[in-house]
């Protein structure tokens, strides 16, 4: 039985079509009906994720990848179709969401770890490991408002990789940090995969999908253009992104 089962997933958003440039237009428009258009972001997407596998999701910007991850993670509900997740999910989607810039790294580890389902005992036992993984031991007592975006992102990845439940959902894995940090993320991913965790990855990097994903989807305009192996989908993605006149 699949650990994640998606059947006919569709998602729509309503986009306002009226442009207001002045305060008067904003005030008058408050009493009028607001014309809008329906934007279909996902259109009848179906797939299965088997227990212990890594599935990659590729596609151009705006094709619905991140929206699909949010539905998988339970952040959005589909407008049509159904999604069944048969295991707890740890999403790493928007790094740093939930940080308190007035608190130091240790307090923020407690805050984010709690949000991700870790107990206080687990957080305390893992704090040194989290700081070491992010190479932020020297800055443990520094408020996050003084961190660079890269430092905060490394800390978020470190907490999330420690808090992993059965299914890990990743948006643009290995997209932050220097080469050494990316290598540590790759090693941690391999360890999680070897331990039997299921992983869902969105990436624009064909090498990541070819290397890590046995199964992958290529989305285009909200639909599944191809479902195949990681290398096949990576090759199709490169073909899709190639300029139309490149063969001339």
Per-residue pLDDT tens digits of the chain, which is 248 residues long: 899 999 999 999 987 666 666 666 555 565 566 666 788 999 999 999 999 999 999 999 989 998 999 999 888 999 999 999 999 888 876 655 567 889 999 999 998 888 777 889 999 999 999 999 999 999 999 999 999 888 888 888 888 888 888 898 888 766 666 788 888 888 888 888 888 899 999 999 999 899 889 899 999 999 999 999 999 999 999 999 988 655 54
| Range 4-241: architecture per CATH | 3-Layer(aba) Sandwich (3.40)
14 burial (CB, 10 Å; 0-12 / 13-18 / 19+) is: exposed
This prediction has a pTM of 0.79
The distance from CA 49 to its chain's CA centroid, rounded to whole angstroms, is 16
Q: Measure the CA–CA gap between 74 and 71, rounded to whole angstroms.
A: 5
Burial class from Cβ neighbours inside 10 Å (0-12, 13-18, 19+) for residue 61 reads exposed
Residues whose CB falls within 8 Å of the CB of residue 47, separated by 6 or more in sequence, listed in order: 6, 55, 217, 224, 227
3-state DSSP call for residue 206?
Answer: helix
């Amino acid at each position: 039985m699949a650990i994640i089962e998606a059947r006919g997933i569709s998602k729509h958003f309503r986009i306002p079509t009226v442009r207001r440039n002045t305060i008067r237009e904003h005030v008058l428009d408050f009493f009028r009906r607001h014309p809008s258009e329906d934007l279909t972001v996902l259109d009848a997407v179906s797939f299965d994720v088997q227990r212990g596998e890594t599935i990659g999701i590729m596609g151009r910007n705006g094709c619905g990848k991140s929206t699909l991850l949010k539905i998988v993670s339970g952040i959005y509900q589909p407008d049509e179709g159904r999604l069944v997740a048969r295991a707890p999910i740890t999403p790493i989607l928007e790094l740093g969401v939930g940080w308190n810039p007035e608190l130091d790294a240790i307090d923020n580890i407690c805050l984010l770890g709690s949000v991700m389902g870790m107990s206080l005992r687990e957080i305390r036992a893992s704090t040194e490991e989290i700081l070491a993984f992010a190479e932020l031991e020297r800055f443990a007592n520094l408020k996050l408002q003084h961190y660079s975006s890269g430092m905060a992102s490394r800390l978020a990845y470190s907490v999330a990789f420690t808090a992993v439940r059965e299914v890990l959902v990743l948006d643009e894995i290995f997209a932050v940090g220097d080469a050494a940090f990316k290598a540590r993320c790759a090693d941690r991913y391999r360890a999680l995969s070897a331990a039997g965790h299921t992983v869902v990855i969105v990436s624009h990097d064909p090498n990541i999908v070819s290397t890590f994903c046995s199964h992958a989807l290529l989305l285009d305009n909200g639909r599944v253009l191809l479902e195949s192996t990681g290398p096949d989908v990576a090759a199709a993605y490169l073909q899709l992104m190639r300029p139309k006149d490149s063969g001339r």
